């Protein structure tokens, strides 16, 4: 009987998947400014980038309702790709300066501050 020994570096990849979370994995943010071409009823938004390749967004609307979404994400240099299944993927450019992050997409720009 043959035994195979996996290098210790491969173990975290097997347990969490081969997600590329970059420096965003394990960080929490809150939105402090939105510049958008469309009107929105969002009054508060918190974003948590997990080390497991999942991003969780908690949104509070003007009527007080809360909405939570979980999507897969990966980071490649300055580009974040969010996987939305049937809705299709979308990509955002991101730039971090100190505790601030700017996300830029085709129709909006978001400024966030780091919570952790």
Closest CA to 24 of 90, 91, 114: 114
Burial of 111 (0-12, 13-18, 19+ CB in 10 A): middle
For 74, what's the count of Cα atoms within 13 Å in the CB-facing half-sphere? 7
pLDDT at 25: 92
pLDDT at 20: 84
Residue extents of the structural domains in the chain: 19-114
pLDDT at 95: 94
- For residues 12 and 42, give the distance between their C-alpha atoms in angstroms, rounded to a whole number: 37
- 81 and 67 in contact (C-beta within 8 Å)? no
For residue 7, pLDDT over 50 is answered with no
Right CATH number for 19-114 from 3.90.1150.10, 3.10.580.10, 2.40.128.280, 3.40.50.1820? 2.40.128.280
- Given CA atoms 107, 48, 30, 114 in this order, what sign does their dihedral have? negative
- For residues 75 and 71, give the distance between their C-alpha atoms in angstroms, rounded to a whole number: 13
- Torsions phi, psi for 58 (to 5 deg): -115, 120
- Single pTM value for the model: 0.77
pLDDT tens digits for range 28-80: 999 999 888 787 888 999 999 999 999 999 999 999 999 999 999 999 889 99
Which carries the bigger pLDDT value, residue 113 or residue 5? 113
For residue 5, pLDDT over 50 is answered with no
């Amino acid at each position: 009987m043959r035994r195979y020994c996996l290098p210790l570096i491969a173990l975290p990849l097997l347990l969490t998947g081969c997600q590329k979370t970059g420096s965003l994995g394990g960080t929490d943010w809150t939105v402090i400014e939105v510049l958008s071409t469309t009107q929105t009823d969002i009054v508060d938004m918190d974003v948590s980038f997990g080390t497991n390749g999942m991003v969780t967004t908690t949104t509070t609307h003007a009527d007080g309702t809360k909405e939570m979404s979980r999507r897969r994400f990966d980071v490649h240099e300055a580009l974040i790709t969010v996987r939305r299944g049937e809705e299709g993927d979308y990509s955002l450019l991101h730039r971090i300066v100190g505790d601030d992050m700017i996300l830029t997409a085709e129709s909006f720009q978001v400024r966030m501050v780091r919570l952790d």
